[in-house]
Amino acid sequence: MVEQNLLLLLVLMPFVSAAIAATLPEDARNAEAWLAGLTMLGGVFLLVILYPSIQDDGIVTRPVHWVSSIGLDLNFRIDGFAWLMMTLVMGIGLLVVIYARYYMSPDDPVPRFYACLLAFAGAMAGLVLSGNVIQMVVFWELTSLISFLLIGYWYRQQLARDGARMALIITASGGLCLMVAVILMGQIAGSYELDAIIAAAPRIVTHPLYVPILLLFLIGAFTKSAQFPFHFWLPNAMAAPTPVSAYLHSATMVKAGVFILIRFQPVLGGTNEWFQIVAGTGLLTLFLGAFIALFRHDLKGLLAYSTISHLGLITALIGIGSPAAMVAAIFHIVNHAVFKASLFMAAGIIDHETGTRDMRRLSGLAKFMPITATLAIIASAAMAGVPLLNGFLSKEMFFEATYVWNNGTFLDNAAPYIAVAASAFSAAYSLRFILAVFFGPPSRDLPRTPHEPPVLMRLPVALLVIACIAVGVFPQETLGVVLQTASESILGSKTPEISIKIWHGVNPALIMSIIAMTLGTLIYLSRRTYIDTGEEGPALTRRFSFARGFDELMNLLSTKLPRQALRLTSAHGLQAQLRALVLLALAGAWYAVINLEWHIPRPTIGQSEVVFALLWLVGGACAIGAAWQAKYHRFAALILMGGAGLVTCATFVWLSAPDLAVTQLLVEIVTTVLLLLGLRWLPKRNEEIPGDDALPARIRRGRDLLIAVACGGGMAAIAAAVLLTTPGVSVGDWFLRNSYVEGGGTNVVNVILVDFRAFDTFGEITVLAVVALTVYALLRRFRPAPESVERPRPQREADEQELQDYLYIPGLLMQWMFAPIITLAAYLFFRGHDLPGGGFAAGVTLAIALLLQYVASNVRWIEARLTVLPIRWMAFGLTLSTAVGAGAWIFGYPFLTAHAQYVDLPLVGKTPLATAMLFDLGIFALVMGAIVLMLIAIAHQSLRVAPKQRKSEGEAT
């Protein structure tokens, strides 16, 4: 049990540390490094504790139940192979953190760097330790996302932004393919658990969808591991800081691709398709990467292509898929991570100390930094596969795997030759790295005078190089057991007894190795001048640039095609777009209405019907009048619209909806005031708009009138169709029955809003808050139209005194009304649970009380006496509602569960007291704050321009 929780800790710890790291101050370089370092060290420590139980039991799992009813659970599992990968992630992570402390310049914002790096370690841990394949894909995409942030760390550089974007697009779209593949596999296996899928391997391999699954899966793995033809993102990702490259592009992220290949080799492997595609791609990438690497002048570029090449080697081994090849693949993952991370760090040191990474400028550095030079030389010898170093051993195993007979296909026969050729180039570029950088005459025109870096910056490189030598000399003693455990978790009973020896006698693999080394040395030494100074690679690879092709593809997909589509499909202007929408809705409704059977009963005409009809005669006339007058007589249209609103309100009263009537009436007032405030900023409409009476305009109006009549008629028809049927059982009945028993209120509408469906209301008030803040934010930057800035004509023509007296009596009345309206608001609020009223109504009422004060006197006078802080009201309201909702958690109920009770208060009597009322109080505060904020923001516009106006008047006189 303890081990299981440690497993969970292993995933969570980096994320927690990342969150802490992100909050540390900008210049806390040491604190950040300590935090990150201790986290990584803790990870290594946890892994050490976990190892015995893995060795004994094989697998340790830690399920985390989430939504088990739909099969959505998290499952963390660790086996020997995952343990080995995790050790790389945490171990190399630790070294990278130490290195980065000295690499990053004091100007770089380190919290972002360490937070991303730690989060990346967490995502890798999640990926490696996932026992559920969906979860695995989620962490997979998370690594892509965080690597985007890390590659783009120096986001002010164009190269970093481009490289980050390219890496994200390629690896994340690969991740999507992978997701489809694992979903299909999960569907076939009947479970998304990794172990269940592995057990279902025979069914998956024989399934008709096997080839599509395989292809999608491989796209996912190949994009991540930078296999041909997706390899080009990796060299472009070299714009990242070097610690990032050392971590992501040698040890972790690119290894995720080969990790998942190995994970799923027991499921998808063993077929001819697998062999041909995986081994073929791997060999091609191995050769191409090594070939291109030889011609790169940039140190990190060389290392990037070398990484591509080595990943190709691992992929090829997995493609071959024999037990020995799989062991070799796992072994090479470790070896490559160790020597490549040290080489990246060494390249970073060189860059750091000399100011350049261009091998044409670097020369003779062994004299300036002998220790670093020695370390780098050993590491690149390991990369070349020189005996007594770790690279040699796995390369021998690779040669062995290509040489033995597998299936006799063309690819199988060609494999040894490709392997030797690629190794020759590998030896050549390693040799170039050593000779060009460290030997030869000392370089002169370097940006900085090179010297040894701080000891601690060199330490990680030294440790890794020591690992190279230790594994190279004592392979069995250092890695034998671990490798055995890791291989067993993949191969099961087929695992061979692993015994790695340095000397196997003269066998084909050794001969191939010797040929490759000799050939490599010859290639480099014979064409040295051309390689060292010539252009980057032969003409063919230069002309055929994948990165450029990718850019063009992206340009096509993200700019050209959308533009074409927009040009073809978009309607010009808002009117045309709205017309299209309305017509579409009309057509949809037409299909619904056309099939209805109509049974219109003979309407009974009583007294109430006549009155109702008269009422709506007025309402309809108001609506049509508003529609008619809105262009030239805005004020009249506003009043007419208000008339239609009042009739609506009366309808609510008539038809047993008192709550709606109250709210409608109050909102009506506020809306009218709001629009009145807005009227001022519209252009004057004293004369007719040019062309308004011309034929085209008349035709447009006629067409729109037809549409409008059709819509109105259709809506009336649908409404009638529904109203003439007898209702079925409504959900409302349930609310009616349970409102008092469960919600403790007799006003069912209010109980629904604050109790049964409180979450909807919660969302709604949040929307209201967002709208109010948007209004406020928009108006802060608002520039009014120039001709609206003048004070209105009546104000200008009247003298000051007249203005003061203008609304004297009404103003006084409005001031007197302040307290009564507040009382009304309180009254509406408290009766809300049992009688019409509630938080909404009360909030709007209080807002109106404040508004009246603004109307009654001038703004400055009122603001000198009354301070309203609408944003605080809103914040209070939202916080209170959330707190009430979250409070239910304390008692073990879901969010927003309400509790109702009646309490006997002295004097007042029996009073309903529900937590829902507190929630209602939150609604009240928020509604009030939002409305006041919006109205004041609009009203203040005239205040903002007024001083300027006075000044210009003063100049005029």
Partner 1 sequence: MELILALAIGVLVGSGVWLMLRPRSYQVIVGLCLLAYGVNLFIFAMGRLYVGAAPIMPKGGFVDPTAYADPLPQALVLTAIVISFATTALFLVVMIVSRGMTGTDHVDGKERLS
Contacts (CB under 8 A) with partner 1, residues 829-858: 834-836, 840
Distance of CA 291 to the CA centre of its chain: 37
Instruction: Report the C-alpha gap between 81 and 129 in whole angstroms.
Output: 10
Interface with partner 1 includes 626 (CB under 8 A)? yes
Interface with partner 1 includes 579 (CB under 8 A)? yes
Interaction with partner 1 in 768-787: which residues (CB under 8 A)? 768, 771-772, 774-775, 778-779, 782-785
Q: How far is the CB of 656 from partner 1 (least distance, A)?
A: 4
Q: How far is the CB of 848 from partner 1 (least distance, A)?
A: 13
- The residues, any chain, with a CB within 8 Å of residue 532's CB and separated by 6 or more, are 359, 360, 432, 436
State the residue for tokens 């499921």: 267
Instruction: Report the C-alpha gap between 404 and 464 in whole angstroms.
Output: 32
Q: How far is the CB of 783 from partner 1 (least distance, A)?
A: 5
Q: Which is nearer to partner 1, 761 or 881 (CB)?
A: 761
Phi, psi of 298 (to 5 degrees): -80, 130
Q: How far is the CB of 360 from partner 1 (least distance, A)?
A: 54
Which letter does DSSP use for residue 131 in this model?
Answer: S
Q: Which is nearer to partner 1, 227 or 663 (CB)?
A: 663
Query: Which residue type sits at 848?
Result: I
Interface with partner 1 includes 755 (CB under 8 A)? no
Interface with partner 1 includes 206 (CB under 8 A)? no
**Residue choice 511, 722, 813, 886 for contact with partner 1 (CB under 8 A):** 722
Q: Determine contact, residues 424/519, Cβ cutoff 8 Å.
A: yes
Interaction with partner 1 in 585-604: which residues (CB under 8 A)? 600, 603
Q: Which is nearer to partner 1, 374 or 788 (CB)?
A: 788
- The residues, any chain, with a CB within 8 Å of residue 557's CB and separated by 6 or more, are none
Only segment of 66-74, 248-256, 304-312, 744-752 that touches partner 1 (CB under 8 A): 744-752
Q: Which is nearer to partner 1, 317 or 934 (CB)?
A: 934
Q: Which is nearer to partner 1, 9 or 621 (CB)?
A: 621
User: In terms of Cα–Cα distance, which of 264, 263, 259 is closest to 332?
Assistant: 259
Interface with partner 1 includes 917 (CB under 8 A)? no
Instruction: Report the C-alpha gap between 469 and 184 in whole angstroms.
Output: 44
940 half-sphere exposure, CB direction, 13 A CA radius = 16
Q: Which is nearer to partner 1, 572 or 865 (CB)?
A: 572
Interaction with partner 1 in 604-623: which residues (CB under 8 A)? 608-609, 612-613, 616, 619-620, 623
Q: How far is the CB of 922 from partner 1 (least distance, A)?
A: 14
**Residue choice 79, 400, 488, 659 for contact with partner 1 (CB under 8 A):** 659
Interface with partner 1 includes 484 (CB under 8 A)? no
Q: Which is nearer to partner 1, 370 or 712 (CB)?
A: 712
Interface with partner 1 includes 894 (CB under 8 A)? no
Interface with partner 1 includes 731 (CB under 8 A)? yes
Only segment of 78-86, 98-106, 575-583, 852-860 that touches partner 1 (CB under 8 A): 575-583
Q: Determine contact, residues 852/820, Cβ cutoff 8 Å.
A: no
Interface with partner 1 includes 651 (CB under 8 A)? yes
Burial of 459 (0-12, 13-18, 19+ CB in 10 A): middle
Q: How far is the CB of 43 from partner 1 (least distance, A)?
A: 49
Only segment of 73-81, 510-518, 799-807, 923-931 that touches partner 1 (CB under 8 A): 923-931
Interface with partner 1 includes 638 (CB under 8 A)? yes
**Residue choice 735, 873, 919, 924 for contact with partner 1 (CB under 8 A):** 735
Angle at 477 between CA 471 and CA 481, to 5 degrees: 105
Burial of 430 (0-12, 13-18, 19+ CB in 10 A): buried
- The residues, any chain, with a CB within 8 Å of residue 398's CB and separated by 6 or more, are 313, 316, 317, 328, 332, 419
**Residue choice 49, 72, 571, 724 for contact with partner 1 (CB under 8 A):** 724
Interface with partner 1 includes 874 (CB under 8 A)? no
Q: Which is nearer to partner 1, 128 or 670 (CB)?
A: 670
Q: What is the SS3 assignment for 808?
A: helix
Q: Which is nearer to partner 1, 275 or 756 (CB)?
A: 756
Interface with partner 1 includes 624 (CB under 8 A)? yes
* CA distances to 358, 594, 708, 721, 724 from 715, in Å: 74, 13, 10, 10, 14
Q: How far is the CB of 698 from partner 1 (least distance, A)?
A: 13
Interaction with partner 1 in 364-393: which residues (CB under 8 A)? none
851 half-sphere exposure, CB direction, 13 A CA radius = 28
Pair of tokens at residue 660:
């709606």
- The helix (run of H) or strand (run of E) holding residue 675 is helix 658-679
Q: Determine contact, residues 275/238, Cβ cutoff 8 Å.
A: no
Instruction: Report the C-alpha gap between 316 and 319 in whole angstroms.
Output: 5
Residue 229: asked if its preceding bond is cis (omega within 30°), the reply is: yes
Interface with partner 1 includes 650 (CB under 8 A)? no
Instruction: Taking the CA atoms of 504, 507, 513 and 514 in sequence, report the sign of the dihedral they define.
Output: positive
Interface with partner 1 includes 464 (CB under 8 A)? no
**Residue choice 627, 817, 862, 913 for contact with partner 1 (CB under 8 A):** 627
Interaction with partner 1 in 288-317: which residues (CB under 8 A)? none
Interface with partner 1 includes 637 (CB under 8 A)? yes
**Residue choice 737, 860, 872, 948 for contact with partner 1 (CB under 8 A):** 737
Only segment of 80-88, 227-235, 516-524, 656-664 that touches partner 1 (CB under 8 A): 656-664
Q: How far is the CB of 637 from partner 1 (least distance, A)?
A: 6
Instruction: Report the C-alpha gap between 344 and 376 in whole angstroms.
Output: 9
Q: How far is the CB of 833 from partner 1 (least distance, A)?
A: 11
Interface with partner 1 includes 652 (CB under 8 A)? yes
Q: How far is the CB of 612 from partner 1 (least distance, A)?
A: 5
Instruction: Report the C-alpha gap between 461 and 459 in whole angstroms.
Output: 5
Pair of tokens at residue 906:
């002295």
# binding residues, partner 1 (CB under 8 A): 114
Interface with partner 1 includes 792 (CB under 8 A)? no
Interface with partner 1 includes 569 (CB under 8 A)? no
Q: Which is nearer to partner 1, 511 or 705 (CB)?
A: 705
Instruction: Taking the CA atoms of 693, 694, 695 and 697 in sequence, report the sign of the dihedral they define.
Output: negative
Instruction: Report the C-alpha gap between 899 and 913 in whole angstroms.
Output: 9
- The residues, any chain, with a CB within 8 Å of residue 185's CB and separated by 6 or more, are 133, 197, 200, 204, 213, 217, 267
Q: How far is the CB of 581 from partner 1 (least distance, A)?
A: 9
| CB burial string 339-352: b at 16+ within 10 A, e below | bbbbbbbbbbbbbb
Q: How many residues comprise the chain?
A: 957
Strand ranges in 220-363 using DSSP code E only, listed in sequence order:
none
Interface with partner 1 includes 645 (CB under 8 A)? yes
Q: How far is the CB of 585 from partner 1 (least distance, A)?
A: 10
**Residue choice 571, 736, 803, 812 for contact with partner 1 (CB under 8 A):** 736
Q: How far is the CB of 878 from partner 1 (least distance, A)?
A: 15
Interaction with partner 1 in 661-720: which residues (CB under 8 A)? 663-664, 667, 670-671, 674-675, 678-679, 681-683, 691, 696, 704-705, 707-709, 711-720
Q: How far is the CB of 717 from partner 1 (least distance, A)?
A: 8
Q: Determine contact, residues 632/685, Cβ cutoff 8 Å.
A: yes
Interaction with partner 1 in 802-821: which residues (CB under 8 A)? none
Q: Determine contact, residues 264/214, Cβ cutoff 8 Å.
A: no
Query: Which residue type sits at 77?
Result: R
Strand-pairing partners, residue 60, are 78
Pair of tokens at residue 431:
């040799």
**Residue choice 161, 203, 528, 634 for contact with partner 1 (CB under 8 A):** 634
Instruction: Taking the CA atoms of 700, 701, 705 and 711 in sequence, report the sign of the dihedral they define.
Output: positive
